[in-house]
Amino acid sequence: MEGDIAEMGKFIGAGLSAFGMGLAALGVGNVAGNFLSGALRNPSAAGGQTATLFIGIAFAEALGIFSFLVALLLMFAV
């Protein structure tokens, strides 16, 4: 019985850590949507903010990848 509870806890923890992947997708959508909204308000300033957009998207995607790695580690390494 103790082994089954530990195994279930491992999968529950992995599932909870995998929520970061979905939240990363929401973050990328939020970053891109806000950039587009600002670019439509002031098109002349949009060109200077493109690098900032890509950095924001990269950070959001990195957090999603890290949460996926934590989920895999919890499932298979612990």
- The dihedral of CA 68, 69, 71, 76: what is its sign? positive
Put simply, whether the predicted model's pTM sits higher than 0.85 gets the answer no
24 CB-contact burial (10 Å; exposed 0-12 / middle 13-18 / buried 19+)? buried
Per-residue pLDDT of 31-75, as tens digits, reads 888 888 888 888 887 788 888 888 878 888 888 888 888 888 888
CB 75 within 8 A of CB 11: yes
pLDDT at 32: 83
Task: Judge whether residue 3 has pLDDT over 80.
Answer: no
pLDDT at 24: 79
pLDDT at 1: 55
pLDDT at 2: 64
